[in-house]
Chains A and B, each alone.
Chain A
Amino acid sequence: MELAKDISGCGIAGFINTDGERISGVDIVDAITLMKDRGNGLGAGFAAYGIYPDFKEFYALHIMYDDEHARKVTEEYLERKVHIEQHGGMPTRPIKKKRPIFFVYFVQPREQSTKGESEEFRIEEADEFIFKLVMFINENIDGAFVISSGKNMGVFKGVGFPDEIANFFRVDEYKAYCWTAHNRFPTNTPGWWGGAHPFSLLGWSVVHNGEISSYGANKRYLEMYGYKCTQKTDTEVVAYLLDLLVRKHGLPLHIVAKIFAPPLWSEIEHMDEKDKELYKALRMVYGGAMLNGPFSIIVGFRGGMFGLNDRIKLRPLVVARKGSNVYMASEESAIRYIADDLDEVYMPKAGEPVIAMLTDEAYEKVYGSKERTYV
C-alpha cells in the first residue's frame, strides 16, 4: 500500500485592484490551484466583483437547481415578485459528473399585486426585498438555491477541484476587479454543490478556512432577524452576520471584525478606559455574533475585500501589496505564483482585519454612483 498523507485544511485566496481595473479569472484560478492539495475535490468556488457592467443596476441572481421542476417553480415565483430584465442558463463547459443546473437572472423589485405582499416586500427597500426573496427561495422551494444575489457580482461554485469548477463555469472568460476563491476540504458537513464556498448574500461573499464552532449560537441569533440557514455549512452564518451587522445595524467593518474575533477578557482588562468600555459593550451586545473556533476568512463586498483571522490565529493568512493590487491567501506561494516583485508581504495579526477598498474614482466607475454602500 502506498503511504499517503491528506494535507487537510481548506485553501483561500483573493485579490482586488483598488483602481477598479478588471482582470480575467485566470490568475485567481492559478493561485488557488497552486494550493490544490489543501482541498480534496469536494468543493471549490469563486466570487467575482464587477463582472456584469451592462447590468450593474440589477441584482444578479445566480440560482442552482436540482432539476427542471425546481426551476419552473422558482421562475413562477420570480415572475410574481420581480422585474426580470434578462435571464438565461449560465455559460458552462461539459463536466463528467452529475451536476445541478445553473441560471442567472438580472432583476429589480417590482410593485406587488396585493396589499399584504406590498407590505412584506416593500419596493422602496430594494436590498431588504431581495434578501427576503433569497431567504424564501432557499427555505421553501425544494431543489433551488440562490448562490449569489448582489449587483454586478456573482458566485461560481460546486463539487470538484478549483480548476475543474473554474473550467465548468468558464471563470477564465469573466473579468472582475476583485476575485476570491476557495478550495474545500470538508470536515464536519457534506460536500455538496450548495455547500461549496463562497457563501453569498446580496453583495457579501465569504470564503473560509477553519470551522465555526459557534455555528449553532450564530444560527439561532440570525434566525431572530429572519435569516434562514439552509446550506448545511458553518460558513453560511458569516455571510448573513455581515449583512445583519453592516447593512441593517450600520456598523463599520473594523468593528464587525472585533465582533467576529473579539479580544479575550484578559486583554480587555489591560486596555484604557475608552477601549475597555467599547470592547465590553461589543461582547455584551453582540455575543451571539461572535465567531468561535479557528478561521481565516476573505470577505468580498461591493467596493472592497477584507481578510480576518480568528483571535488567536489558528489558521494561516498572508497579505501582500503590489501597486494598486492587494492579495490575500492561505500561503505566500499562491500570491507569488501570480505576482512577483511584491511591494510588501506580511501576515496580519490575530483578529486584525485587513481592509482593501476601491478608490472613490474606481467605485464610481464600477458602480456608477458616488455614494458607497457595502451590498
Chain B
Amino acid sequence: MYEIDARGVYYRDLNAKIREAIRNHHKDIVLHNVCGQYYIGCGLNDKDVKITINGVPGNDLGAFMNGPTIIVNDDAQDGIGNTMNGGKIVVYGNAGDVVAYSMRGGKIFIEKDVGYRACIHMKAYKDMNPTVVIGGCSGAFMGEYMAGGTLILLGLTRKDDKPLTGVYLATGMHGGKIFIRGGVDEKLLWKEAVVVEPTKEEMKKIESEVKEFCNLFKIDYNKVMDEEFVKVVPKSTRPYGHLYIPGP
C-alpha cells in the first residue's frame, strides 16, 4: 500500500504524485485528506491499479480513465466517470450531477443518491458497454441523450417526500437501457422513451450487477430483488430526426 497525504495539495500536484507512484509500480494507492482536488485518476490506463480516496474528491473523478479501480470512502462531486473508457468507480456515499457523463466503458457503483442528469449521453460500441448502478435516488433528466450502456436505479433511499427520480427522464434517449426498481411514473418520461418489461436475459444482467452492488455495500440482495424492475428504452434511434426537416 502506498499512501499519499493530499491535505492542501494542489490538484495538479496530487495527480502528478499519483502518476509517479504508478510509474514506481505501486498498485494499491491510498489518498488521505482529499478535499475537492479535480481529475483524480484522469486518463490512467493500468488495469491492476487501485486508488482509495478518503475525503471528498473534486469534479471529473476518473475522467477518461481506462482501467484502474477507484474507491471513494465519502461523497463524490460532479462529473464522475466523465468520458470514462474502462475500469471501475465505487462511491460509498452520494455523487453529484452528471454522473457517467459520456461514459464509454467500465462500471460505476454509487451507494446512495446522485444529482441531475445521471448518465447523460452515455454510450456503447461493440464490446464497450458501460454499466452504472445507483443505489439511491436520482435527480431529473436521468439518462438524457443516452446512447448506449446500462443504467440501473435501485431507489433504496426513496421516501414519501423523496421521489425515485425526476421529470424529463430519458429525454432524447436513443440507445442503451435504463432499469428501474419498483417501477416509474410514466408522466416523468419524455415522449421519446417507453416503459416495458425486461427480458429474461436482461434480468440476468440486472441480477449479476445487483449482486455485485450488494456485495460492495453489504446490502441484503434478496430484499433488493424483492421488487420488480421495469425497463426504459428509446422508441427510436433518431428521436430528433424530423425536428428540423419534415420527415417522409
Q: Taking beta carbons and an 8 Å cutoff, which residues of A are in contact with B?
A: 7, 34-35, 37, 267, 270, 312-313, 316, 318, 331-334, 336-337, 345-347, 349-350
Contact = CB atoms under 8 A, between A and B. Distances in A.
B188 to A, nearest CB: 10
B166 A332 contact: no
B167 A345 contact: no
Nearest to B98: A316
A337 B38 contact: no
Interface of B: 11, 35-36, 38, 55-59, 75, 77-78, 94, 96-97, 113, 115-116, 139-141, 166-168, 187
A337 B36 contact: yes
B140 A336 contact: no
A312 B11 contact: no
A133 B77 CA distance: 44
Nearest to A34: B36
A41 to B, nearest CB: 16
Residue of B36, B77, B78 with most chain A CB atoms under a 10 A cut-off: B36
Contacts of A312: 116, 140-141, 168
7 contacts: A313-B140, A331-B77, A334-B36, A336-B35, A336-B56, A346-B94, A347-B96
Given A312-B140, A312-B141, A34 B35 contact: yes
A294 to B, nearest CB: 12
Contacts, number: 62
Contact of A332 (B38, B75, B140, B168): B75
B77 to A, nearest CB: 6
Given A331-B58, A333-B58, A345 B96 contact: no
Residue of A7, A337, A347, A350 with most chain B CB atoms under a 10 A cut-off: A347
Contacts of A336: 35-36, 55-56
B35 A337 contact: yes
Nearest to B166: A349
Nearest to A7: B38
B35 A316 contact: no
Contact of A347 (B55, B58, B139): B139
Contacts of A345: 75, 94
A161 to B, nearest CB: 14
A331 B139 contact: no
Given A331-B59, A331-B77, A333-B77, A347 B115 contact: yes
A277 B140 CA distance: 24
Contact of B139 (A267, A270, A332, A349): A349
Given A34-B36, A37-B38, A337-B35, A316 B139 contact: no
B198 to A, nearest CB: 27
B94 A350 contact: no
A267 B36 contact: no
A336 B139 CA distance: 22
A270 B77 contact: no
B36 A35 contact: yes
Given A267-B167, A349-B166, 12 more contacts: A312-B116, A313-B97, A316-B78, A316-B97, A316-B115, A318-B96, A331-B59, A331-B77, A333-B56, A337-B35, A347-B97, A350-B139
Contacts of A267: 167
Contacts of A347: 96-97, 115, 139
Contacts of A332: 36, 56, 75, 77, 96
A334 B37 CA distance: 11
